[in-house]
Amino acid sequence: MSLSQSACLFLSIARSRSVMTGEQMAAFHPSSTPNPLERPIKMGWLKKQRSIVKNWQQRYFVLRAQQLYYYKDEEDTKPQGCVYLPGSTIKEVATNPEEAGKFVFEIIPASWDQNRMGQDSYVLMASSQAEMEEWVKFLRRVAGAPSGAVFGQRLDETVAYEQKFGPQLVPILVEKCADFILEHGRNEEGIFRLPGQDNLVKQLRDAFDAGERPSFDRDTDVHTVASLLKLYLRDLPEPVVPWSQYEGFLLCGQLTNADEAKAQQELMKQLSILPRDNYSLLSYICRFLHEIQLNCAVNKMSVDNLATVIGVNLIRSKVEDPAVIMRGTPQIQRVMTMMIRDHAVLFPKSKDVPLSPPAQKNDPKKAPVARSSVGWDATEDPQISRTDSFSSMVRFQAIPCKACSGVAIWGVLDDAVAVGTTDTDSSEHTLKAWPLSKSTSKSSFYWRS
């Protein structure tokens, strides 16, 4: 079988899965009986609106894996029902002014799932605004988001998706917010400290998640735009500083008290092992915040003040324990201050990585550096011409091939790599693979027909 025939076969398999009916997709659902070995993601009491009489019932909800179960009592082991979340839409419901104090949100199952389950949506009510926002955040993460969604999406996925709009080092939302704030917010007292208009923040968030790229007109409240930027950073499934490096960054903050030079040296080490997209975003934000603090005599936001209000959105513990958070807060503030103040040294512009780098000659004496991290000696491989690619991007998974020195190509995967081909002879083809996200390694794979 030729390479092109195999690619067509893989694509037809993927296409057939994408047009499955609701009944076919339902076969992939996990059991409605919860697995006691699965650790709950979130649990708590909520009010559930009955579908016919529309009155409210108090129920205990437990979010496990891909399902939301609800029970009549906290001690019950058999759920009254469950909601399958993937593909669902989770949205907050605006209430009438006379219904103040009602914090209502709605789960709208995927269209194919509504027919199977016989219910259009589930209307739930929390006891406070904070509780509702917490539930909505976790439910959206489990449900997934439509293509092009921004909030709650992995940073590398957003960067990879937005490459089709042109060269971008950071998500479009971040760049739009930063540009607007630099133009209209330099002289705004308390920028990033004072909250924006909550309803407008939600409207802008929903617009970005719907795939729109809304513009901020000059009358837009600059504090609202600042709040939108903080919300994006806070809603990342994993913070800009990955959880695996949380303690390392805290150590840098601790060292600032005793040895500033050693603290900076340790921080440069931590920055050099950040994933490429994370490094680019952290660099961009620190330069941006440095510009803001240059006008601190007017806006009252010094380096220390900015570090305090922004740092907790960039560096946070995986353990959401108040004691752990309190312990880390002073160190986060110190290391964030250092990154803003010394950004020119810590984030040299020579380390900025364009999405379409100029061709460079490979140095065979130089050890290769993984594209998933920055590396102070990292260099980009030559840009590969897209004329060598398929007319449609084909996704493959590469697995080791014991019978030969290359790898075998199997199945259809996600946006990990885009693959092109150059023929060498009738029995062997070299597949040139380059990343659709900057976290993927670039290499050559071998296909044997």
Q: Give the chain's mean pLDDT.
A: 74
The model's pTM: 0.55
Q: Nearest Cα to 84, choosing from 31, 152, 124? A: 31
| Across 408-425, average pLDDT | 36
Residue 164 exposure: Cα atoms within 13 Å on the Cβ side: 7
* CB 112 within 8 Å of CB 67: no
CA 109 to chain centre: 22
Average pLDDT over residues 206-213: 77
List, in sequence order, the alpha helices (H) in 342-424. 343-346
Q: Is the pLDDT of residue 142 over 70?
A: yes
Residues 6+ apart with CB under 8 A from 336: 306, 307, 308, 310, 311, 314, 315
Confidence of residue 380 (pLDDT cuts 50, 70, 90): very low
Written as one letter, the residue type at 96 is: N
The region of weakest confidence among 6-15, 18-27, 168-177, 301-310 is 18-27
**Residue 147: what pLDDT?**
56
Both tokens of residue 217?
């007109």
pLDDT digits (tens, 9 = 90+) for 233-289: 999 989 999 999 999 999 999 998 888 899 999 999 999 999 999 999 999 999 999
Kindly state the helix (H) or strand (E) to which residue 179 belongs, with its residue range.
Answer: helix 172-184
Element holding 139 (H helix, E strand): helix 129-143
Tokens representing 256 are 């600032």
Which carries the bigger pLDDT value, residue 86 or residue 403?
86
In whole angstroms, give the CA distance from residue 302 to residue 245. 26
For residue 387, the Cα-to-chain-centroid distance in whole angstroms is: 31
Q: What percentage of the chain exceeds 70 in pLDDT?
A: 67
User: What pLDDT is recorded for position 163?
Assistant: 83
Cα–Cα dist 369/398, whole Å? 20
- Rounded Cα distance between 342 and 330, Å, is 18
Phi-psi domain of 24 (left: phi exceeds 0; alpha: psi -120 through 50; beta: other):
alpha
- Chain centroid to Cα 200, Å, comes to 22
* Percent of the residues in the chain that have a pLDDT greater than 90, as a whole number: 41
pLDDT in tens, 56-84: 999 999 998 889 999 999 999 899 999 99
pLDDT at residue 402 above 80?
A: no
- Which residue shows structure tokens 């030559």? 382
Q: What is the pLDDT of residue 38?
A: 75
Distance CA 147, CA 214 (A): 17
Q: Return the C-alpha torsion angle 191, 202, 281, 279, nearest 10.
A: 120
pLDDT, greater one: 62 or 437 = 62
Tokens matching residue 190: 């308390």
Q: Which residues contact 44 (CB under 8 A, 6 or more apart)?
A: 60, 61, 131, 135
The more confidently predicted of residues 425 and 168 is 168
**At 304, which amino acid appears?**
D
Comparison of pLDDT for 310 and 319, the residue scoring more:
310
Q: Where are the alpha helices (DSSP H) in 315-370?
A: 322-341, 343-346
Return the minimum-mean-pLDDT range out of 37-41, 45-49, 83-87, 106-110: 37-41
Pick the more confident residue, 99 or 365.
99
Average pLDDT over residues 137-152: 75
Under 8 Å CB-to-CB from 207, ≥6 apart: which residues? 214
| Domains within the chain, CATH numbers bracketed | 36-144 (2.30.29.30), 155-351 (1.10.555.10)
* pLDDT at residue 5, as a whole number: 54
Give the lowest-confidence range in 69-78, 88-97, 372-381, 440-449.
Answer: 440-449
128-154 average pLDDT score: 81
User: Token digits for 395?
Assistant: 């996704």
Question: In terms of Cα–Cα distance, which of 74, 105, 79, 103 is closest to 90?
Answer: 105
Name the residue among 423, 418, 350, 430 with its Cα closest to residue 389.
418
Distance of CA 99 to the CA centre of its chain: 34
